[in-house]
């Protein structure tokens, strides 16, 4: 390792010189050889998803696409006599282990799934939590019971063996790794978070909690959650390399409210992302975390991420980036840190944005290599705010300011107006900020200030969740009765609905390991009259509607289904919110699309639109994956699914998107139509693998009522022009769009992972469109746009419009990268 050591010493020297003699004031950052990987492993990556473990013990009598009507047998369910949500107050116990509804989860498609145990308290498996007894085996027993195995290789594929692992307060001594699997949520007591502590016999290079399911590639590690715990490595030797957490995961994962404590000055690392040869994963969101002590807080290696509200204190390097094509950082607080964000290794990082953050006593705030966007950063008692390739940019405090390093474009010129670093006009934030002027954020609701009596299981209203019976009327009655009175809890299951479910103001909805609501029946079959499955409020209504830990899907091929429609706004910012709630079209045994949509070059019209944020709405959406399945989670069946549209935003009242992804839809992933006051931190998109066979808009017919793109500008020429728009911004009234960090990826042309056959080997011609009727352009900004396999990064006026940004002039990241596109300013 002599060369690596030389690199490390050179890096230390460069930091010291940049600090002009003040280097004694700051902590030493992590050595460069620890951060630097081989970038070619990431540049050459292509998805390869032949399928997952077979769902061997499948209950074939469960057919959500043909539900049984039981409305005449439902119990009477009026408004509960005793409500509980009106007077939240500090609680001595967390409601979850005391609530009977948590024990009611089932796995409908599993043989004897009604007996399957979803909720698992580690103390029922022998964990003591006294800080002395070795509890490692007890934790792993709780996780593996009932033949749960890695990679969906157990009895029930990926989706059939969910587990909620509950950890009561206490200190749990751990001597070796706790291994998590797909479809697992680990939840500690948020009132008095449990401590998972490394024991003194823990070996060098050991991971305290391994969140990477080794049974499959990291890029297929979906549906894993960890929250409300403290990870403490202080029991292990400070000289050893100890990892508190390995988080090599992908979309639909949930890491929130986790604190990591490490000895100051130790070689310990808080979080790493190591999926072996499969890389670090393809994630969307983590947030509300804290790291103290150790060598590195987060050793980052992933395709993309939004990271929100993280505190890093007394650490060598706060966030050390081994690899990231796009990294959107918000609310990062560094204190007494050598380097707050180190993304300085050339060719490893596409782009980094750091906004609404602070650094106190930091040797370097951001060490970057190319495209960096800095905005509203409070810097005190620190060295350089930004270094690019070892050279300080000479900027300091950035409160109320925006600075971009990399190519900056404005309007239709087609040429960058800046390349080597420039101050930009401070981003218009409109109604998107809190009282401090920072973008508003909201923690995931966990209702720790409510007792168990404030919760009501939807089963009490007669809902079955068994994937057999029609639960429409039971769910509707529960929501109407519980609004403003109880939190409605959905024990794990598959809840079939055959008509629109109206969610009234005052609703709080909580799932268990992604409880599923699934549309079924002829009400959702007509694409000329699309209908929402879930309707959140009505136009003009004001109130609260919160969704956590839910999953929305279709049980059949339903061309008229809109999965979720939001009409309502709150009295306060974020009153209407979705946290850790996801969307899945096909790819699992709970939908007939898994078997019905297999014909090559004939994708089925499985759903009309995934999510619709209407003009009167205001929503806070954090950690949401809108996925039309490209592969089978519960087997190896080919998936040819042509969902019409991803997310349609017409909202004007304030919309926050924090860590969202929208993949494999036919016409567009995101369309902002006369939208106003929209903030987004990371928008991740993959184009459908089957396009352009057939060419978009097929299998759909564009509908002008929905302002659909028609691809007429392609004029019958290159097939790769007829592909999904990742982002479409249309409407003359559009304004105040602050969009930070886009990862728009195209991997294939045609089914069976066909190679890219477009001009110059590209997979797709156009990817982002600012429509020609967008004439105001005030406050519209794209920051840190990254593309793969794309010829034109931004066009104006549709598929035949003017090329505003060409990828060939902006090489980097996974193909193309720019620091900012400022629309028509």
Q: Using one digit for the tens of pLDDT, what is the confidence trace for 541-575?
A: 999 999 999 999 999 999 999 999 999 999 999 99
pLDDT value, residue 413: 80
Q: Using one digit for the tens of pLDDT, what is the confidence trace for 213-225?
A: 999 999 999 999 9
Residue 346: band (very low, low, confident or very high) from pLDDT cuts 50, 70, 90: low
Residue of 175, 166, 215, 167 lying closest to 194 (CA atoms): 167
Least confident of 83-92, 190-199, 340-349, 694-703: 340-349
Q: What is the mean pLDDT of the chain?
A: 93
> In a 3-state reduction of DSSP, which class is residue 461?
helix
pLDDT value, residue 779: 87
Distance CA 630, CA 47 (A): 10
pLDDT value, residue 6: 31
Is 36's pLDDT higher than 90? no
Q: Per residue, what are the HEC states of 639-671?
A: CCECCCEEEEECCCCCEEEEEEEEECCCCEEEE
pLDDT value, residue 337: 99
> In a 3-state reduction of DSSP, which class is residue 8?
helix
Residue 433 per-residue DSSP state: B
pLDDT value, residue 21: 41
Is 338's pLDDT higher than 90? yes
Distance CA 495, CA 475 (A): 9
Peptide bond into 692 cis (omega under 30): yes
Is 775's pLDDT higher than 70? no
Residue 153: band (very low, low, confident or very high) from pLDDT cuts 50, 70, 90: confident
Contacts 24+ apart (CB under 8 A), 6-10: 7/31, 7/32, 7/33, 7/36, 8/32, 8/33
CATH architecture for segment(s) 63-90+451-655: 3 Solenoid (2.160)
Is 659's pLDDT higher than 60? yes
Is 259's pLDDT higher than 50? yes
Q: Using one digit for the tens of pLDDT, what is the confidence trace for 506-526?
A: 999 999 999 999 999 999 999
Is 452's pLDDT higher than 90? yes
Overall average pLDDT of the 261-271 stretch: 99
Residue 673: band (very low, low, confident or very high) from pLDDT cuts 50, 70, 90: very high
Q: Using one digit for the tens of pLDDT, what is the confidence trace for 102-123?
A: 999 999 999 999 999 999 999 9
pLDDT value, residue 155: 82
Domain borders along the chain are: 37-58+109-302, 63-90+451-655, 667-825
Residue 87: band (very low, low, confident or very high) from pLDDT cuts 50, 70, 90: confident
Could you give the C-alpha distances from 338 to 25, 37, 288, 321, 561, in angstroms and in order? 9, 20, 22, 14, 52
**Residues 414-431: b if buried by 16+ CB within 10 A, e if exposed:** eebebeebeebeebbbbe
Contact between 295 and 266 under an 8 Å Cβ cutoff? The reply is: yes
Contact between 293 and 6 under an 8 Å Cβ cutoff? The reply is: no
Overall average pLDDT of the 292-306 stretch: 98
pLDDT value, residue 7: 37
CATH number for domain 667-825, candidates 3.30.1360.30, 3.30.70.1150, 3.30.465.10, 2.160.20.10: 2.160.20.10
pTM of the model: 0.96
The encoded tokens of residue 723 equal 């592909």
Is 20's pLDDT higher than 60? no
pLDDT value, residue 23: 47
Is 493's pLDDT higher than 60? yes
Is 11's pLDDT higher than 50? no
Overall average pLDDT of the 664-692 stretch: 98
Residue 22: band (very low, low, confident or very high) from pLDDT cuts 50, 70, 90: very low
pLDDT value, residue 50: 63
Answer yes or no: same fold for 63-90+451-655 and 667-825: yes
Overall average pLDDT of the 721-745 stretch: 96
- Alpha-carbon Rg for the chain, nearest whole angstrom, is 25
Within 13 Å, how many C-alpha atoms sit on residue 302's CB side?
Answer: 35
The encoded tokens of residue 127 equal 């964990």
Contact between 788 and 761 under an 8 Å Cβ cutoff? The reply is: no
Q: Could you tell me which residues come within 8 angstroms of residue 723 by beta carbon, excluding any fewer than 6 positions away?
A: 687, 688, 691, 692, 696, 746, 764, 765, 766
Residue matched to tokens 């399911």: 213
Distance CA 754, CA 330 (A): 37
Residue 44: band (very low, low, confident or very high) from pLDDT cuts 50, 70, 90: confident
pLDDT value, residue 824: 67
Instruction: State how far Cα 89 lies from the chain centre.
Output: 31
pLDDT value, residue 15: 44
Residue 1: band (very low, low, confident or very high) from pLDDT cuts 50, 70, 90: very low
Residue of 598, 607, 617, 516 lying closest to 563 (CA atoms): 607
> In a 3-state reduction of DSSP, which class is residue 776?
coil
Residue of 303, 308, 286, 414 lying closest to 357 (CA atoms): 308
Overall average pLDDT of the 313-324 stretch: 97
Angle at CA 353, nearest 5°, toward 350 and 358? 140
Phi then psi for 660, rounded to 5 degrees? -120, 155
pLDDT value, residue 660: 99
**Which of residues 86 and 803 earns the better pLDDT score?**
803
Overall average pLDDT of the 746-759 stretch: 93
Is 825's pLDDT higher than 90? no
Q: Using one digit for the tens of pLDDT, what is the confidence trace for 458-475?
A: 999 999 999 999 999 999
CATH number belonging to domain 37-58+109-302: 2.160.20.10
Contact between 281 and 273 under an 8 Å Cβ cutoff? The reply is: yes
**Which of residues 85 and 290 earns the better pLDDT score?**
290
């Amino acid at each position: 390792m002599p060369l690596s050591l030389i690199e490390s010493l050179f890096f230390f020297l460069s930091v010291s010189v940049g600090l002009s003699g003040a280097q004694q004031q700051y902590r030493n950052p992590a050595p460069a050889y620890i951060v630097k990987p081989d970038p070619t492993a990431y540049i050459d990556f292509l998805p390869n998803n032949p399928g997952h473990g077979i769902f061997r013990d499948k209950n074939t009598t469960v057919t959500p696409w043909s539900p049984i009507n039981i409305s005449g047998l439902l119990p009477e369910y009026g408004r509960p006599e005793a409500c509980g949500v009106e007077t939240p107050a500090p609680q001595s116990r967390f409601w979850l282990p005391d609530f009977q509804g948590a024990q009611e989860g089932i796995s409908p498609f599993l043989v004897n799934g009604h007996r399957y145990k979803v909720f698992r308290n580690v103390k029922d498996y022998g964990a003591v939590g006294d800080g002395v007894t070795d509890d490692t085996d007890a934790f792993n027993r709780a996780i593996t019971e009932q033949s749960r195995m890695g990679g969906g290789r157990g009895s029930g594929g990926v989706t059939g063996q969910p587990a909620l692992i509950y950890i009561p307060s206490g200190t749990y001594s751990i001597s070796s790794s706790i291994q998590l699997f797909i479809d697992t949520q680990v939840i500690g007591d948020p009132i008095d978070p449990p401590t998972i502590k490394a024991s003194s016999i823990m070996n060098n290079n050991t991971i305290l909690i391994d969140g990477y399911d080794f049974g499959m590639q990291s890029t297929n590690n979906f549906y894993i959650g960890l929250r409300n715990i403290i990870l403490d490595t202080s029991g292990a030797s400070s000289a050893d390399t100890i990892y508190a957490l390995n988080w090599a995961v992908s979309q639909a994962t949930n890491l929130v409210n986790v604190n990591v404590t490490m000895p100051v000055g130790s070689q310990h690392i808080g979080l790493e992302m190591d999926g072996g040869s499969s890389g670090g994963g393809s994630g969307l969101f983590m947030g509300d975390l804290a790291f103290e002590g150790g060598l590195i807080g987060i050793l980052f290696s992933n395709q993309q991420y939004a990271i929100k509200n993280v505190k890093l204190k007394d650490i060598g390097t706060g966030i050390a980036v081994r690899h990231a094509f796009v990294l959107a950082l918000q609310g990062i607080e560094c204190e007494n840190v050598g380097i707050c964000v180190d993304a300085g290794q050339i060719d490893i990082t596409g782009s980094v944005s750091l906004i609404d953050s602070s650094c106190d006593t930091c040797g370097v705030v951001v060490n970057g290599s190319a495209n960096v966007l800095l905005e509203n950063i409070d810097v005190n008692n620190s060295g350089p705010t930004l270094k690019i390739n070892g050279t300080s940019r000479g900027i300091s405090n950035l409160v109320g300011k925006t600075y971009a390093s990399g190519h900056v474009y404005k309007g239709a010129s087609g040429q960058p107006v800046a390349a080597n670093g420039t101050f930009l006009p401070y981003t218009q934030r409109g109604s998107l900020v809190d009282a401090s002027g920072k973008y508003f954020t909201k923690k995931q609701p966990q209702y720790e200030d409510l007792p168990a009596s404030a919760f009501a299981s939807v089963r009490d209203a007669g809902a079955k969740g068994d994937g057999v019976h029609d639960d429409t009327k039971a769910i509707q009655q529960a929501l109407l009765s519980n609004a403003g009175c109880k939190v409605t809890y959905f024990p794990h299951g598959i809840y079939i609905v055959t008509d629109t479910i109206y969610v009234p103001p005052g609703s709080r909805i909580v799932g268990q390991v992604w409880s599923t609501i699934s549309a079924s029946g002829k009400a959702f079959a007509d694409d000329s009259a699309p209908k929402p499955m879930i309707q959140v409020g009505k136009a003009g209504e004001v109130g609260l509607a919160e969704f956590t830990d839910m999953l929305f899907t279709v049980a059949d091929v339903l061309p008229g289904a809109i999965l979720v429609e939001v009409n309502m706004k709150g009295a306060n910012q974020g009153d209407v919110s979705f946290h850790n709630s996801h969307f899945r079209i096909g790819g699992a045994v709970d939908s007939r699309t898994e078997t019905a949509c297999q014909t090559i070059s004939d994708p089925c019209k499985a759903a009309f639109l995934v999510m619709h944020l209407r003009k009167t709405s205001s929503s806070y959406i954090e950690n949401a994956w809108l996925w039309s399945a490209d592969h089978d989670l519960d087997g190896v069946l080919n998936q040819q699914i042509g969902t019409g549209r991803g997310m349609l935003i017409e909202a004007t009242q304030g919309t926050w998107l924090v860590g969202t992804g929208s993949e494999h839809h036919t016409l567009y992933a995101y369309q902002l139509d006369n939208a106003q006051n929209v903030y987004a931190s990371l928008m991740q998109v993959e184009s459908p693998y089957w396009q352009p066979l057939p060419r978009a808009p097929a299998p759909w017919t564009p509908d002008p009522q929905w302002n659909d793109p028609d691809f007429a500008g392609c004029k019958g020429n290159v097939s790769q022009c007829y592909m999904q728009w990742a982002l479409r911004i249309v409407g003359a009234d559009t304004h105040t769009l602050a969009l930070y960090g886009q990862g728009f990826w195209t991997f294939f042309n045609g089914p069976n992972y066909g190679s890219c056959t477009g001009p110059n080997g590209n997979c797709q011609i156009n990817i982002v469109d600012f429509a020609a009727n967008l004439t105001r352009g005030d406050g519209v900004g794209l920051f840190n746009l990254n593309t793969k396999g794309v010829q034109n990064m931004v066009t104006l006026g549709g598929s035949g419009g003017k090329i505003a940004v060409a990828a060939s002039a902006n090489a980097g990241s996974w193909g193309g990268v720019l620091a900012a596109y400022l629309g028509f300013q």
